[in-house]
Homo-oligomer: A and B are copies of this chain.
Amino acid sequence: MDRELLQFIQSKGFIWGPSPEIYGGVAGFYTYGPMGKLLKNRVEEKIRSVFSKSDFWEVECPTVVPKAVWKASGHLEGFTDPMIKCTKCNATFRVDNLLEEKGHESSIKDEDMLKNVKNANLKCPTCGGAFEDKILRHNLMMKTTIGLDTEAYNRPETATTTYLPFIRYADFFRKKLPFSVFQIGKAYRNEISPRQHLLRMREFTQAEGQMFIEANMKNNFEPFKKIKKRTMPLWSAKLQHEKKIPADTSLDKALKENFIKSQAYAWTLNLVYELFLAMGIPKDKLRFRQHFADEKAFYADDAWDLEVKTNSYGWVEMAGIHDRTNYDLLQHTKESGKTLAMEGNIVPHVLEIAFGVDRPVFALLDLFYEYKDKGEGKTTFNIPYDLAPVQVAVLPLMKKDKLPEKARKVFDLLKEQFTCRYDENGAIGRRYLRENQMGTPYCVTIDYDSIKNDDVTIRDRDSGKQTRVKVKKLVKTLNEGAK
């Protein structure tokens, strides 16, 4: 990430950190300032809207969850990073990252990584010492205690917590498949050395949708009909093997050619596409990448990622779409002793969409920030109007002659309906610039004529066009996109 972008994100009140800054900061923790939080809320509103229209219902599960759950889900044993320790200075490093940074192959197998470290003769980057002859496994969950002695963990993902109330869902949805829920909430991963700003946080906001569906419904899925002609950039495992670029492919065709396995799965890919377009990510920055067979989780029947092309870090994984089969429900049935199944002992399959809120927010900052005209240090933030943190700025032309009083009245009127800022400080041109830097779509200016005629000027961010409007028509005009 370049310095100008970081400076923009911090100084305009988007993201601060690592937090807590006054205590030196801890890597992987960030604070959303007022502009960042408004932006994040807009992104979450889009997620809620798209999910709700697709008949997904939101739930909120606890973030602190007892050990038994993570034993069942496999996180207690399997959710680890491979580490290697210096024999001389005791510094500890993620061995897979170390290998990749030095241009060597990593692996998912400990013995292969250890072999590669030896072959490459890697030394400690801190002191040059030799590494220990073993890989340590560091669990990524943050452990805590409930009550006096109940072992628990801050959840490392929302998904597992979403599956647990399955019996309640079946009842709420009146015992009829398919049904779908979603959750937006905090998750925690205790990475050793997180970098890359909002892309790799120890505390982050996850968003995920889960569809519970009978196995034999997956290829007899009515809603698929409506979207089957939809094309999207699909980068199948085969195309990747052949070193070809992603191809715009209809979901219909992808199914026929068998690199997407079911109608329902194809439908969830489309839903992810809708989600990211609604969040304002431009079409030409999106692609779907299929996992190779050896990349997939052992329970996953099919797995694709949605990737977004950022300016700062290139293509970044933003969402995973998994056919998890009936693995989770069977596993929790086994471990809890409660039967997670429908009538007739049907155990639904789960189609999962897992993504986050912080990464799309980062992508919006990264993609729509523009640093131009370096001499004058002018920046603009060209965020789509419907995602802008502040919707309307109210600006009296001068800080005198009753203009501020009139402007305050307009401000009071507008803030009933819009997110507004009031600003009376500095030359009007500088204030327009300031709003451009925040991405504010409309500036409403109150001048001397406003007092006589009870009207104002609306300035459009992108066109710079100014329109004169009566105050009594102002709300309506702004609601209609100031046309």
Question: What is the interface of chain A, defined by CB distance below 8 A to chain B?
Answer: 11, 13, 16, 19-23, 26-34, 36-38, 40-41, 48, 52-53, 57-66, 68-69, 92, 138, 142-148, 150, 152, 154, 161, 164-168, 171-172, 174, 181, 186, 188, 190, 192, 202-203, 332, 336, 338, 340, 415-416, 419, 425
Known: A64-B203, A172-B13. A190 touches B415 (CB 8 A): no
Contacts A19-B61, A52-B419, A203-B62 given; does A92 touch B148 at CB 8 Å: yes
Contact B164 A68 (CB under 8 A): no
Please tell me if the beta carbons of B190 and A145 are within 8 angstroms of each other in the complex.
Answer: yes
A56 to B184, CA, bound (A): 24
Could you tell me if A190 and B154 are in contact, using CB atoms closer than 8 angstroms? no
Question: Could you list 22 A-B pairs, sorted by A, with CB under 8 Å?
Answer: A11-B171, A16-B165, A19-B61, A19-B62, A20-B164, A20-B165, A21-B164, A22-B164, A23-B66, A26-B150, A31-B60, A31-B165, A32-B59, A34-B172, A37-B57, A37-B58, A37-B59, A52-B415, A142-B144, A143-B145, A145-B190, A146-B202
Considering the chains assembled together, what is the distance between the CA atoms of A444 and B103 in angstroms? 63
Q: Name the 3 nearest CB pairs between A and B, nearest first.
A: A34-B57, A32-B60, A22-B336
Q: How far is the CA of A416 from the CA of B278 in the complex (A)?
A: 13
State whether A29 and B338 are in contact (beta carbons under 8 Å apart), knowing that A143-B144, A146-B202 are contacts in the complex.
no
Q: How far is the CA of A461 from the CA of B77 in the complex (A)?
A: 52
- Inter-chain pairs besides A26-B150, A92-B148, 8 sampled, C-beta below 8 Å: A16-B165, A19-B61, A23-B66, A40-B60, A64-B188, A142-B146, A143-B145, A186-B186
Contact of A29 among B37, B64, B416 (CB under 8 A): B64
- CB contacts (< 8 Å) of A425 on chain B: these are 174
Q: How far is the CB of A445 from chain B (nearest CB, A)?
A: 19
Give A456 to B100 CA distance when docked, in angstroms: 63
What residues of B have a CB within 8 angstroms of the CB of A181 in the complex?
A: 34
CB < 8 Å neighbour of A58 from B38, B150, B186, B188: B38
Alpha-carbon gap, A146 to B66, bound state (A):
19
Task: Kindly report which residue of chain B lies nearest to residue A62, judged by CB atoms.
Answer: B29
- Which B residues are CB-close (under 8 A) to A165? 16, 19-21, 31, 33
Residues in chain B near residue A147, CB distance under 8 A: 26-27, 190, 192
Which residue of chain B is the closest to A28 with respect to CB atoms? B146
Contact B148 A33 (CB under 8 A): no
Q: Can you name the residue of chain B whose Cβ is closest to the Cβ of A172?
A: B13
Bound complex: CA A332 to CA B192 (Å): 27
Contacts of A168 in B (CB 8 A): 13, 16, 21, 31, 33
Instruction: Pick the most buried of A66, A146, A174: most chain B CB atoms within 10 A of its CB.
Output: A146
Q: Which residues of B contact A415 (CB under 8 A)?
A: 52-53
Shortest beta-carbon distance, A389 to chain B, in Å? 10
Closest residue of B by beta carbon distance from A21: B165
Give the complex CA separation of A168 and B188 in angstroms: 25
Residues in B neighbouring A38, C-beta threshold 8 A: 58
Contact in complex: A69, B23 (CB < 8 Å): yes
The CA-CA distance from A164 to B138 in the complex, in Å, is 30
A192 touches B23 (CB 8 A): no
Nearest chain B CB to A174's CB is how many angstroms away? 7
CB distance from A303 to the nearest CB of B (A): 26
